Structure 1
Amino acid sequence: MVDTTEKDPLKADTLQFAGTLPDTLLPKHRILAYYGNPHSKRMGILGEFPRAEMLQKLDREAERWQKADPSKPIIKALHLVAISAQGTPQKDGKYRLRMSDKTIRKVISWGAQHGAIVFLDIQVGLADLKGELAFLEKYLKLPYVHLGIDPEFSMKTGARPGTKIGTYDAADINDAVQFLSRVVKENNIPPKVLVVHRFTQRMVTNYKNIKLDPRVAIVIDMDGWGPPSLKIDSYRDYIVKEPVQYTGFKLFYYNDKKKVDHRSNHKVPHVMEPAEVLALEPKPLYIQYQ
């Protein structure tokens, strides 16, 4: 892999990646990510526990998944909500909050020191996706930092985030792909992974117009919560039936246990086990825990 230290504006000497980073992540590997924000215990597992405890849990989860499917080496990841949708407008009226450089660098350093790649997730609110991509570009120049975009909080109608489910069109996703492709080419780094969250039909429109690029691996991630049968139905209806490139599956440590699944053999609410997720076709290559 090419050394990009001299080109990196982030003092890369303090962010050296522990271990060996493969040149291509997908489809040869399976990514296992912990999602959230260190400023919020409620947003996800990444911020729920102190760093050391959270990373230990990630390690144990990775071991479970590796045992469930030894054929796909596990790549651990931290998935940071770097730009968070807000219920109230910011000074610019865009209903989104950009995390500070200190916070973003902190999570990137957690990943680098632990041998975990990092995803920076964008919830645009009423902002423009291209502008938020530009804000994150200096971080995405690092070879182990990747991107997530969340249609749920892309409020094209001008509605306040959280009042309605938002949407991205293929044109928006293509903008993100083209942006990442340029970053890869200009910095001579390995291909990027783009995760697009989805759990309804309208969250992604005109999927057939999404253009693939060899410098970017696109994952459409089934992001809905609930009992296993509902999650499986969502995966089939919104991910499998409208294929793009690779698939992902999200698991919620708490929300997935709110109801008993009467269509399964489990008598109590439970988070799907690796074997249950791996029974899906196609087998998801990106697994996220919130």
Structure 2
Amino acid sequence: MRFSLAALTVVAFCQLVGCSSQSQQDDSSKSGKLTTEASTDSTGSGRAESPSGNALSSTRTVSTGDSTLDSLTYAPIGALLPKHRIFAYYGNPHSKKMGALGEYPKEEMLQRLDQEIKNWQKADPATPIQPALHLVAISAQGLPGKDGGYRLRMSDRTIKKVLKWGNEHKAVVFLDIQRGHAPLGGEMAYLEKYLKLPFVHLGIDPEFSMVTGAKPGTKIGSYDAADVNQAVQFLSRVVKENKIPPKVLVVHRFTQGMIKNYKNIKLDPNVQIVMDMDGWGPPVLKKDSYHDYIQKEPVQYTGFKLFYKNDFRKPGSRIMTPEEVLALDPKPMYIQYQ
């Protein structure tokens, strides 16, 4: 059953890689391709709650060196987990096939996000929900590009657009890295100025970490504990240098081999690690993967991903309900819809 879920997801990530291109394309494309311009470019002990359950924001004092970013003032107070459940829409505004974030116009997407959050809040009224947008900020590619990295960095313009959406909607934003062949350190450095903002967090996707040198889309990639620790250390430095609340690091996983030597992952008070069950398929397979790769190999917090389309691909399949997901042990504190 575990192999079946992995096999199902291979199709999904092959579609993802195949939908992107190194060339600049028109944002209004109906083909579903990833259309984007090429890139040119401390823990808090107290927490206040708003009536809606979202963490209240405070006046931000961090300077990013970018006036546009410095105008984004939303800043949740303190650590998000475990007092909140994070609820995210995933994708990229240049692609209608990568997830809910880009499938609908901005206002409709945010309305759908809010409606879905109501369903989850009803299922667990005791845990406030923090809205989130999860942007694929660095996308794996089927072609090597000029530097052989097999990835495409979203432009400053694209990233700032999604950050503005989050700022206006009191939603935190995750910037996700699909590194391809590019070193993780360089990709994190590219995103550092955005991560200085208190409401911006990080995701890393082993699925597209091609340590064997294979082309993205031909095999499922992996990260070692050392790579996860590198991301934790990077985020911890950003937190300490800018005196901001802890960062959340989402690590996607749906097979045994995607995360190696998990026992060597080191926790840091400045970073909250979420291991996110990222596979698609019928409920029985998703529960099986959560048990084997998340529950049996615990790190810190757990997450669970649901697919509006791919979870229906097998005959008789359906998307799991909030109540079914919340019945998992441990209860996921990060929920993502694609």
Q: TM-score range by the shorter chain?
A: over 0.9
Equivalent of 1:247 in 281, 302, 308: 302
Equivalent residue letter for 1:240: Q
Residue 287, structure 1, aligned to residue 316, structure 2: no
> Given the alignment of the two structures, is residue 26 of structure 1 paired with residue 86 of structure 2, yes or no?
no
The corresponding residue for 1:42 is 97
| Residue deviations 1:82-130 (CA, integer Å, cap 9, x gap) | 0000001110011000000000000001001001000000000000000
Unpaired stretches in structure 2, ≥5 consecutive residues: 1-56
Q: 1:14 matched to which residue of 2?
A: 71
Displacement after TM superposition at 1:3 (Å): 4.5
Superposition TM-score, scaled by structure 2 size: 0.81
**Is the Cα contact below 8 Å between 1:36 and 1:47 reproduced in 2?**
yes
Percentage of identical aligned residues: 72
Whether the 8 Å CA contact 1:29–1:73 is kept in 2: the answer is yes
Structure 2 CA distance, aligned partners of 1:145 and 1:6? 13
Query: Per-residue CA shift, 1:201-238, capped at 9, x if unaligned?
Result: 00000000000000000000000000000000000000
Could you tell me which amino acid in structure 2 is paired with residue 283 of structure 1?
K
Q: CA deviation at 1:15?
A: 1.4
**1:92 match:** 147
- Which of the numbers 299, 314, 320 marks the counterpart of 1:259? 314
Mapped to 1, the partners of 2:257 and 2:230 lie a distance apart of 18
- 1:269 and 2:317 aligned: yes
Q: CA deviation at 1:13?
A: 4.7
The corresponding residue for 1:229 is 284
Aligned pair 1:220/2:275, yes or no? Answer: yes
Within 5 Å, give how 1:1-290 maps onto structure 2.
3-5=59-61, 7-11=63-67, 12-17=69-74, 21-260=76-315, 268-290=316-338
Segments of 5+ residues of structure 1 without an aligned counterpart are 261-267
SS in 2 for 1:196: strand
Paired with 2:58 and 2:322, the residues of 1 have a C-alpha distance of 34
Query: Which runs of 4 or more aligned residues in structure 1 lie more than 3 Å from their structure 2 counterparts after TM superposition?
Result: 1-6
AA aligned opposite 1:8: T
* Whole-Å separation in 2 of the counterparts to 1:56 and 1:74: 15
- 2:64, 2:70 within 8 Å by CA — same for their partners in 1? no
Q: Deviations 1:124-147 (Å, cap 9, x if unpaired)? A: 000000010100000000000000
Quote the residue 1:263 is aligned against: none
- Supply the AA of the counterpart residue of 2:246: P
Whole-Å separation in 2 of the counterparts to 1:152 and 1:8: 31
Preserved contact between residue 195 and residue 218 of structure 1 (Cα < 8 Å): yes
Residue 14 of structure 1 deviates from its aligned partner by 2.9
Q: How many residues align?
A: 281
Asked if 1 retains the 8 angstrom alpha-carbon contact of 2:62 and 2:242, the reply is: no
Equivalent residue letter for 2:65: P
Deviation at 1:4, TM superposition (A): 4.1
> Quick check: 2:301–2:332 contact (8 Å CA) kept in 1?
yes
Residue pair 2:58, 2:77 contacting (<8 A) in 1 also: no
Distance 2:77 2:243 in 1: 14
Moved more, 28-37 or 2-11: 2-11
Q: Aligned with 1:104: secondary structure?
A: helix
State the superposition RMSD in angstroms: 1.2
Q: What amino acid maps onto 2:327 in structure 1?
A: A
TM-score normalised by structure 1 residue count: 0.95
The answer to whether the 8 Å contact 2:63/2:70 transfers is no
